[in-house]
A and B are shown apart, each in its own frame.
Chain A
Amino acid sequence: MNKLIEVWSVNAEVQWVIFIILCILVCSSVAWNVWNFLKPGGLVNELLVRTRSWWIMCACFVATTLAHPVVTVIGLAFLSFALLREMYPLLNLDQRERNVALLCYAVIPVQYALAYHGMTTLFLAFIPVFMFVAIPFMLVIRGETKGIVRSISLMPYSLVAWVYGMSHLAMLFNLPELPGFTAGPQGLLLYFIFLVGINDVLQFAWGKIIGQRAVLPNVSPNKTWEGLVGGVLSVTLIAVALRFLTPLETWEAAFTGFCVALAGFMGDAIASGIKRDLGIKNSGNAIPGHGGYLDRLDGFATAAAPFFHLIYFFGVTAAG
């Protein structure tokens, strides 16, 4: 019988990373509560709310990752859907563009099914080749061209960024058997989630502690050079320390961590730019202290495809 939740067969590497996540959460919760007890204030309040949300997010991520791959893939597909759904209302689509939005939603299960079944070529081509033509054409045949540049650019963009990118994580389940690699796709997924999550946290922390000069003062005033450099360097080190979850060598893990951290930052910055042009601060309130799904997952979705390709290159192609 197929077990839907295979908690009992979790391998040692995955158990370790879950233990580390738990330690971090417990330590930070205790620390903020003590701080709040000694000296309540605005910052510590924000930290408490954020940490509470991290608890819930980590629980969801870990539970979904440990479950049967089908559950994991459905969870990832839901995240893609949530991202699109948060974006589209902001575009002020007109009534007839709803049908195109529906088509975009319908792309999600197809893309994730292709990933799950390992149909690599079609998976790689479906959105950037076929949907890239189909969606602008659907917008054009409405016969209404007013404001069409905005929807023609952002609808395929959002598909590539948040569905195509994110679906690469589902592709991790189709990596070939690698010699000496025991953590499996679940380990890789947790490795990635851990890196991107800790990247956000560390960039935030470094920025708060020693942040002086803004990287992009006109886009996102809270991002500082100190936060960026500190975050990227620490994530690079953490990537090396956790490489037991991956098939990577030391320097390969370092490079992967570096790229994931940088891509996370870039995704964050791009989403900030879009939100700023649309004149909003947060895209929603689904995650208390963080904002909407888009505010939390922008880096996650952007770093997913680079991560997959690095793992594939180092783990499969370069290893021969």
Chain B
Amino acid sequence: MPARTIDAEFFNARVPNGRRWLLWFLYKVLWRTVFGLVIGLRYVRAEAPHPDGPVIYIANHNSHLDAMSLMTIVPSHRIHLTHSVAAQDFFGRSRFRSWSMKHLVNAVLISRGKEERDEVDPIVLLDAMLRQGHSLILFPEGTRGVPGVMADFKRGVGHLASRHPDIPVIPVYLDGLYRTLPKGRTLIVPFGGTLVMGDPLLFPAETSIDAITEKARLAIESMAEDLLDENKIPSSDSP
């Protein structure tokens, strides 16, 4: 029973209180301040109440800062129960990286490629985590990709949401953080950005995996369009 081994490994030890406070301080205090005052991230509708219990956050992905910014909007009492889903092949490359991903980002590392999957399907692991009441942060594009362009979604979010019709999916649109920390750079140069939190989506039990994936993608795309329109000068105004 592969799923059981993973459960045991991941959850049997409760998240220690120390790490809980560390995560709270890191994200609700430190990163929130850095995003607000230094980087200049605009939070749009991020104060909207989150549903109680486990949640799947999904967002478009262009920068390493994306996961950090999403952790800052998670309610304080669930911060230690919220895990970014990150790639084993990239973040597990060195011991330092995997240590900091586990302790400082609270991430869960999964393998991306089919060939390198050992015994456990990542979906089984994530599914088990949701059942245990944990929240997940997913980047369904699977990679940071081209700045400002949204790639096709992988079907992982569809798999998870179809198994948990009671767990809401919160789409989040992130714009501009790729300017602050682009792919392949290590230096943060503050360039602003926007984080828009969308309304929670609930999918009835019989919705197909592809339909969920597509709807999730459309939700983020429409948020991107709304954001563009919101700050345009109305055409009646222009000369």
Contacts and interface: CB of A to CB of B under 8 A. Distances in A.
Interface in B190-217: 190-193
Given A89-B179, A276-B233, A279-B232, A284 B190 contact: no
B186 interface: no
Given A217-B239, A218-B239, A86 B232 contact: no
B140 interface: no
Interface residues of A, number: 25
Interface string A79-100: 0011001101100010100110
Nearest to A293: B40
Interface string A262-284: 00000000000000100111101
B5 interface: no
A284 B187 contact: no
Interface in B171-188: 176, 179, 182, 185, 187
Interface in A97-145: 98-99, 101-102, 105
A11 interface: no
A286 B189 contact: no
Contact of B187 (A102, A276, A286): A102
B232 A284 contact: no
Contacts of B37: 78
A99 B182 CA distance: 13
A93 B185 CA distance: 15
A281 B232 contact: yes
B191 A101 contact: yes
A86 B233 contact: no
A85 B39 CA distance: 8
Contact of B176 (A81, A89, A105, A218): A89
Nearest to B176: A89
B12 interface: no
A86 B41 CA distance: 10
A285 interface: yes
Nearest to B234: A281
Given A95-B182, A102-B187, A286-B42, A85 B232 contact: no
B237 interface: yes
B231 interface: yes
Contacts of B42: 284-286
Contacts of B192: 85-86, 88-89, 284
A40 interface: no
B44 interface: yes
9 contacts: A85-B190, A86-B40, A89-B179, A89-B193, A98-B187, A99-B189, A279-B232, A280-B232, A285-B44
Interface of A: 78, 81-82, 85-86, 88-89, 93, 95, 98-99, 101-102, 105, 217-218, 221, 276, 279-282, 284-286
Given A88-B191, A217-B239, 17 more contacts: A85-B40, A85-B190, A85-B192, A86-B40, A86-B192, A89-B179, A89-B192, A98-B179, A98-B182, A102-B187, A102-B189, A221-B237, A276-B233, A281-B231, A281-B233, A284-B192, A286-B42
